[in-house]
Chains A and B, each alone.
Chain A
């Protein structure tokens, strides 16, 4: 990998600006071309023809949050593994292959225990049966 100047990130800022420009241009053209007659039955949220009852924002099941938590842990783990994975071949060529392999495998195995625990205790099930939650 070579040294990289900060100018290498210029295209990214350009694409961000182009995304903003595309969105703005699309909205502008649509504003000019489309009719605008608000009101009436059009404004109601669609519920297959029925009138919506109550607010849409109700309490949700905790399973969404559990999935998010497990995702964060694995995300951080994979981010920590990326630098080690990058120098793996270099270390192997230098003769330290077994050492880095042991480090790598011990890191993964600890997290495999985590996923095994969640699996066994039923946290990965989307539908928790009453029997499971009564046993835990």
Chain B
């Protein structure tokens, strides 16, 4: 009973947030609706009994990725975050130019057809499978054991992958070295940078 309630509320939150995310013309609002989608996905993980993965989803995505996206939007901020509306596209509730609209619709149609094709059997089986029991074994110990025994190489390589991501991001975000000569600062101005 409770798992049904959880599933229905999580999926309705996801669908509503997705629709709103596409519908709005404001970029910041889209980021906030993405927050709703990610929390809904965490709820869906809970219905499967994966409590550790649900908490990880909230911690990494909600606590990190959404804040990072908000920072990125602020970083490239200009005068307005609203999209420039053209005559016909201004009537449609979506952001973007005609090219994004074309490519977006084409991708959505292809993706939709693929999904319907792969899950076509589900449309004929209308009986819902009963979940056997409501008890879920603790997942985190099993994940730990698998990480140590079966997937230890992947575990160690993931640390190297994270190191690569860190170094790459640091390099990309660093200010560029070459500057025009007339912008070269005086060398007694070492601590003249402002505290922002």
Contact = CB atoms under 8 A, between A and B. Distances in A.
Task: Classify A-B as touching or not with yes or no (CB < 8 A).
Answer: yes
Interface residues of B, number: 66
Interface string B148-171: 100010011011101101110110
Nearest to A10: B2
A106 B177 CA distance: 34
Interface string A46-61: 0000000001011111
A contact patch SS:
helix
Nearest to B165: A73
B contact patch SS:
helix
Given A5-B135, A75-B63, A69 B174 contact: no
27 contacts: A4-B138, A6-B2, A6-B6, A57-B74, A57-B77, A57-B78, A57-B81, A59-B77, A62-B75, A62-B173, A62-B175, A64-B74, A66-B170, A68-B68, A72-B64, A75-B63, A76-B60, A79-B56, A84-B147, A86-B144, A87-B141, A87-B148, A91-B148, A103-B148, A107-B156, A127-B195, A133-B174
Interface of A: 1-7, 9-10, 13, 55, 57-66, 68-73, 75-77, 79-80, 82-87, 90-91, 99-100, 103, 106-107, 110-111, 113-114, 117-118, 121, 123, 126-131, 133-134, 136
